[in-house]
Structure 1
Amino acid sequence: MSLAISSTTALKGVRLSMTRGARGTVASRRVAVRVNAVSADRGSDSKIQVGVRHSMRVTRLRDIVEVSPDLWGPTESSAVPSKKARRGDGLTQATIFKELLLASKHFRLYSQKIHGDGDVYGVRFLMGSPRMEGLDDVFRVTRCVAERDEGLMNLVPDSSGMMVAEIMFPLAMPLDNTIEDLSSLVRAIETQIIEESTVCLMEKGSDDRSVFHGERRLNKYFTGMYARAPDLLHRGTCTSSSPTPGALEASKEMLHRLWEGEESADVVLIDEVRARVEELFCGGNGRAVVHPSGTDAETMPLLQAVLASRALARRVPELDRPVDFRDGAQRGNVISLVACAGEVGSGTTEAAEGRFFSKAVPLGGNRVDMGQELPALHDLAAMESVELVARGGDTDVGRGKADYDAIVEAKAREALASDPAAVVVLHTVAGSKTGLVMPSPAVADTLVAEFGERVVSVLDACQMRHHPNLIPRWLNDQGPILMTSSKFFGGPSFGSAVFFPHRAVETMNDQLGEESPATVAAIAEACASYLTHHDIGDVLPKLHDAMPPGFCNSGVLLRWAAGLHEMETLNDATEANGGIANTEKHVRAWVHAMREEAQKFSPHLEYVPAVDYEGDWQLGGVNTIIAVRLRSGPDEDFFSTADLKKVYALMTADLTEFISPESTMAERRVASQKCLTGQPVDIPGGSVLRTVLGAAQLKDLVSGKQPLDQMIEDDRVLLSKLALIARQYDYLLSHSL
């Protein structure tokens, strides 16, 4: 974004006009400038009266740090302004500009420097909105805004050696109305600061999958927090997404509310997110705990199992338990069965047994070791996770193992028989990375009916590619649900929640009440790397009260605001265009058309047949994930996962300059299209890449914004580029791209 300074020739010279952003009017309300007279031509006694707060927030990291404007040096030179400067534009403009900055919450650390013989005045400042987590964030925002508008402002070292932004006055163009035009300038800069601050904060509060690099600030999935580029063909909502422009605006709006509400806003806004997501999905049957990602959301069902097992341990005779549990400690014993292992979120196995699954945690800034135990939790219960791979050999590779239900049930019975206080966390996956639903719901029905509270029956619905009836039904019949705003719905990665049935919430609160304060504090310590007390809210009051005090996870709040925008606008489009039945018709139309298209690019692409499920397990009753294998030629092996990771990266770039010189004009047009697919998945028979239907696409179909034939034409380009890369793979890798 630029400041959009446009100049038009007028009788009085060049007029400065600033494009105001979506929040321009809000920003203007914060600039309380009252002017009696400004122009030196109106007399040397003119005064500028500016309403300025007595202090400004510089940074917030679990506390508020404030600095008084009185500490800011008005000048770095004792030189007396010349008569021309006293009367002319330079001093007047610099003074007005600085006072306008003082009235804004988006600028920091001001100074004024006289240049040359006193005719030029530089105002130096840093930029960064409230809730920045440190000066590094402020420096980042300052650099980004200054570099984008290098013609207007420059980065210069101040007396302490740090780089600050500087604008020189008088400006290059004369001003018709000094106050009005400089106010417009400040609002235009504020618009950029707000965007950069929003992006900066949205990157916070996640794990090492959310490490962003380069000018475009992309992570390893080639997504970030800036609005997705309009020339990007986005078909990767099974992996990761950048926000749509509308979603980013929703995040900015949420951030404004966070600023305006001060500390009380943390409670109000997270509670609002919880209420909105419950209203959209739960049907009155459950409550939500907000989480940074679907992987760390495993902590909540694990906690339910730990509490249930410890409650059993207090009732079961110690001599009936295995020897390792006859120490009087009444430790729990939890076994998590990870279904569709390898086709659910990376790190699920570690998270399901109470271990860190990345080297960075969302809260606290701690660096941890992969697989390291969460603090204190393992003193309360033994934990184990068992990976259960769903797919078999090379035959019938599109489907899971025929005896998978029997395998899962046998493992569950074995675990439950090993200890009368053991509790099994049973995962049923409502759509793996390739769309599998396994094990069948009959397994959960059987085990819950027989073992009751000893089975925590979890639905992994993180892909969110199901009929709306599934979540309220599962909450009514089974147990907790893992969900995300950042897969099908295309919210920025990552945002998640755990839905608990009301009966589970009641039971967990009773069990927390039976535990000692020290035990509740230990549980809170184990959760504190992922959750704030705001995320828990009034769902689990005792745990909420034991969590460390502080602000909410701003990154989660802003990412959820973007995700909710996509959820609610799709819901609105569905209601306005024939309801869910009509939406499902559009889903089926796209899926069937894409399956047909994917089979037209043989031998370089091989479509892997998908599995469709009856009932409410899939939206439209079809798998919205199209999986394909790639190879260079008919007699070549299919590409490995490592190869497909390179293809995934190549798809995001304009390859026009790098494809073979013999390529046709049609191939060059295809090569120029930037595409985002789903990441590779390693399955028997050869790894696959995925292209999928996401909420933004579906909304376009439902609303009529883009007809199906036009959308399929876009998708045909994506498939053509995959085939082109497969054909020219070796040639492309011979270049340094």
Structure 2
Amino acid sequence: MSDGGVRRHATWEPASGRSRSSSAMAEMFLPLDRLLGGGGDPRLSIDPASGLNQYGCRPLPCPGTLSFASSTATSISERAYARASDARESLMRSAIAVGIEQALDARIEAMRGELKDHFGLSRSGVEVVFSPSGTDSQLQALFLTRAVLGPALTTVIVAADQTGSGTGDTARGRHFSTATASGSRVRKGEPVAGLAHSVTSVALPLFDATGHCRPQADSDSRVLSAVEKSLADGSGVLLQIMDSSKLGWRAPSEQCLDEIRRRWPDRVQIVVDACQMRLGRPRLRKYLDRGCIVIVTGSKFFTGPAFSGALLVPAGFSGVLDAVPRIAPGLYEYSSRGDWPSSWPALRARFPVRANFGQWLRWEAALAEIRSYYSVPDEFRSLALTTFGQGVKQIIASSRSLHLLPPQETLQATPQDGGVDDEELAQPTIFPFVIRHEGRALSLADCRKIHRALSRNAGDAIAVNESGREQQIAAQPCLVGQPVALGEATAHPVAALRICAGARLVTEAWSPDGETAAANVRRELGRVGAVVSKIEWLLAHLGVLPSAEPSRGALSPA
């Protein structure tokens, strides 16, 4: 292990292929939870005192945790953990026959096909580029866009206040952390060699300085103006749009995107931040059919373990990419040969052969969740999410302290598509709320204290002499979405926490027996009630809660 807990992965080289392969095989025998927690940046490092990473999750199943945090991260399920275990054993058997490099490469290529099958993309010509996280995928998207539009580029970030905290750096081709997934130590904010030259960025937040969401027309106008100005300055534009944000919002509008395609068809590359994966498969295919690159993850809605990123790249990129004369050398620390599809042989051959077992196993786990989710009948997926959403709204409304934020206009079903493009995800699955206490809404700092205490046995941190029921509430570990600041008007902005529906809610509630399935959904709503009870208990002890240091990078897409 290198300093900081970042693992440097085995790299195969012609002169030392045998020894490197032996090292990789030895790594495969590490405990599975250590492998699942490796191959990322410091956000996955485990705090030895709590056993949790910066997301409040473990690389082990945690059936006792009440988890409604799929907008941030979720601990691995028993089903997904079993798949990762089986995948490791299968790879070991294959490696004995063909070698670890070839066996892993073949398995990753098969995963591409599996992911495309689940999304209905098998015959579309779309390709999949894997990465350690959604933040790493943003650097890959920048590289692809520069290959198409040229090196002089402006990244226009829509909903910059509701995307990952690393996006401000990746948008300009800069390091977003202090270490890469390959184990290299870097300086946050400094240029990634060969990727940052002639790249600038424009950040367009959805909230104004007072913490109010801008009207759709205003937001669209700001996007069009930023794109037009950047093009007038002589650069191409990478337009990173949001579908959907930390609060479950989408921006800009489809009408705005249509106008951009009409006015500048060859000078703007649209990249869709769909890391939350709260959009229907028809909408996903529509973006790709229109030439957009889409960033997805196997975590977030699908509830795979955090740090499983991928780009979905539309058909037509292959010829351009194989003709790229030079790879940004700094990109080698963020990507390896196996990340790139076999259909791009010339580009792929330029990257190092390096095993990232953590990235691979997290995607194996995520694919188990994706398969299970789409195996549930369409009607029940919609019914479960609808029933859960209605119940969450009622529970929050019954609390004197919690206040639900209003839904964003642009995320709802449009008159043109009636919600068909989003299938069951046309309805909200993220329920953000502010907490009011002593006549004021809680600040970001106070919400962080609440969030941290929720995930732990709060009775260990607070000396209480209360009833057994109160002690039970304090001890229950709960996960909700990390706090999101609402505007930057002051040094202490108001923030919202989030209760979320994820794919695992649906798969664990499903039963062919209707009464059993309905009871399972009610059980989950009962757990939401327990989460709200703990929030209210913590609020009564807010003054003695230990402070929570900001988790650097913890809100980046994963």
Does the pair score TM above 0.5? yes
Match of 2:430 among 625, 631, 645: 625
Structure 1 residue 64: Cα displacement: 6.2
Structure 1 residue 665: Cα displacement: 4.4
Partner of 1:109: none
Instruction: Indicate how the Cα distance of structure 1 residues 713 and 665 shifts in structure 2: closer, same or farther if over 3 A, else same.
Output: same
Which entry has the higher C-alpha Rg, 1 or 2? 1
Partner of 1:724: 537
Structure 1 residue 463: Cα displacement: 0.2
TM-superposition CA deviations, 1:639-669 (whole Å, max 9, x none): 2212211111110122345557464544333
Match of 2:503 among 683, 691, 695: 695
Partner of 2:406: 609
Structure 1 distance, partners of 2:547, 2:185, is 38
Opposite residue 110 of structure 2, the aligned amino acid is E
Aligned residue for 1:631, secondary structure, equals strand
Structure 1 distance, partners of 2:196, 2:230, is 18
Match of 1:712 among 507, 513, 525: 525
Confirm or deny: 8 A CA contact 1:349 1:386 kept in the other structure: no
Structure 1 residue 66: Cα displacement: 6.4
Structure 1 residue 371: Cα displacement: 1.2
Match of 1:250 among 55, 80, 83: 83
Confirm or deny: 8 A CA contact 2:10 2:355 kept in the other structure: no
Structure 2 distance, partners of 1:479, 1:131, is 41
Q: Does 1:593 align with 2:396?
A: no
TM-superposition CA deviations, 1:430-473 (whole Å, max 9, x none): 11000110111222221122211211111111001122211111
Structure 1 residue 537: Cα displacement: 2.4
TM-superposition CA deviations, 1:201-251 (whole Å, max 9, x none): 222221121222217642111213122x22110111111122111111111
Structure 2 distance, partners of 1:383, 1:390, is 23
Confirm or deny: 8 A CA contact 2:278 2:425 kept in the other structure: no
Opposite residue 280 of structure 1, the aligned amino acid is H
Aligned residue for 1:677, secondary structure, equals strand
Match of 1:545 among 337, 344, 349: 349
Partner of 1:427: 240
Q: Structure 1: which 4+ aligned runs deviate by more than 6 Å? A: 64-67
Normalising by structure 2, we get a TM-score of 0.86
Structure 2 distance, partners of 1:734, 1:302, is 37
Aligned residue for 1:584, secondary structure, equals helix
Instruction: Indicate how the Cα distance of structure 1 residues 734 and 214 shifts in structure 2: closer, same or farther if over 3 A, else same.
Output: closer
Structure 1 residue 301: Cα displacement: 2.4
Aligned residues: 511
Structure 1 distance, partners of 2:153, 2:19, is 47
Aligned residue for 1:371, secondary structure, equals coil
Instruction: Indicate how the Cα distance of structure 1 residues 631 and 498 shifts in structure 2: closer, same or farther if over 3 A, else same.
Output: same
Aligned residue for 1:224, secondary structure, equals coil
Confirm or deny: 8 A CA contact 2:127 2:341 kept in the other structure: no
Partner of 2:484: 681
Partner of 2:42: 208
TM-superposition CA deviations, 1:525-574 (whole Å, max 9, x none): 232112111110224322101112x23321110010011011001111x2
Q: Does 1:376 align with 2:174?
A: no
Aligned residue for 1:531, secondary structure, equals coil
RMSD: 2.6
Identity of counterpart residues, as a percentage? 24
Partner of 1:280: 118
The 5-angstrom pairing of residues 527-546 of structure 1 reads 527-546=331-350
Confirm or deny: 8 A CA contact 1:337 1:424 kept in the other structure: yes
Structure 1 residue 619: Cα displacement: 3.6
Normalising by structure 1, we get a TM-score of 0.66
Confirm or deny: 8 A CA contact 2:461 2:546 kept in the other structure: no
Opposite residue 433 of structure 1, the aligned amino acid is K
Structure 2 distance, partners of 1:225, 1:431, is 26
Confirm or deny: 8 A CA contact 1:392 1:401 kept in the other structure: no
The 5-angstrom pairing of residues 95-494 of structure 1 reads 130-132=25-27, 197-214=31-48, 217-227=51-61, 229-262=62-95, 263=100, 264-283=102-121, 284-285=123-124, 286-310=126-150, 332-363=151-182, 365-378=183-196, 382-392=198-208, 394=210, 397=212, 402-419=217-234, 422-494=235-307
Structure 1 residue 394: Cα displacement: 4.4
Instruction: Indicate how the Cα distance of structure 1 residues 212 and 255 shifts in structure 2: closer, same or farther if over 3 A, else same.
Output: same
Instruction: Indicate how the Cα distance of structure 1 residues 660 and 628 shifts in structure 2: closer, same or farther if over 3 A, else same.
Output: farther
Structure 1 residue 731: Cα displacement: 3.5
Structure 1 residue 259: Cα displacement: 1.7
Instruction: Indicate how the Cα distance of structure 1 residues 259 and 734 shifts in structure 2: closer, same or farther if over 3 A, else same.
Output: closer
Aligned residue for 1:679, secondary structure, equals strand
Partner of 1:506: 318
TM-superposition CA deviations, 1:187-208 (whole Å, max 9, x none): xxxxxxx6x5222222222112
Structure 2 distance, partners of 1:431, 1:358, is 23
Q: Does 1:654 align with 2:438?
A: no
Confirm or deny: 8 A CA contact 2:133 2:309 kept in the other structure: yes
Aligned residue for 1:481, secondary structure, equals strand
Confirm or deny: 8 A CA contact 1:297 1:497 kept in the other structure: yes
Opposite residue 366 of structure 1, the aligned amino acid is S
Structure 1 residue 596: Cα displacement: 1.4
Confirm or deny: 8 A CA contact 1:391 1:401 kept in the other structure: no
Partner of 1:560: 363
Confirm or deny: 8 A CA contact 2:454 2:477 kept in the other structure: yes
Structure 2 distance, partners of 1:400, 1:243, is 38
Opposite residue 613 of structure 1, the aligned amino acid is Q
Structure 1 distance, partners of 2:313, 2:85, is 30
Structure 1 distance, partners of 2:179, 2:254, is 35
Structure 1 residue 478: Cα displacement: 3.5
TM-superposition CA deviations, 1:227-281 (whole Å, max 9, x none): 2x22110111111122111111111111112222222212111101111111111
Structure 2 distance, partners of 1:555, 1:257, is 16
Structure 2 distance, partners of 1:426, 1:271, is 29
Instruction: Indicate how the Cα distance of structure 1 residues 671 and 450 shifts in structure 2: closer, same or farther if over 3 A, else same.
Output: same
Opposite residue 477 of structure 1, the aligned amino acid is R
Confirm or deny: 8 A CA contact 1:336 1:386 kept in the other structure: yes
Higher relative contact order (CA 8 A, sep 6+): 2
Confirm or deny: 8 A CA contact 1:392 1:400 kept in the other structure: no
Partner of 1:145: none
TM-superposition CA deviations, 1:4-34 (whole Å, max 9, x none): xxxxxxxxxxxxxxxxxxxxxxxxxxxxxxx
Structure 2 distance, partners of 1:554, 1:661, is 44
Confirm or deny: 8 A CA contact 1:335 1:424 kept in the other structure: yes
Structure 1 residue 605: Cα displacement: 1.8
Partner of 2:552: none
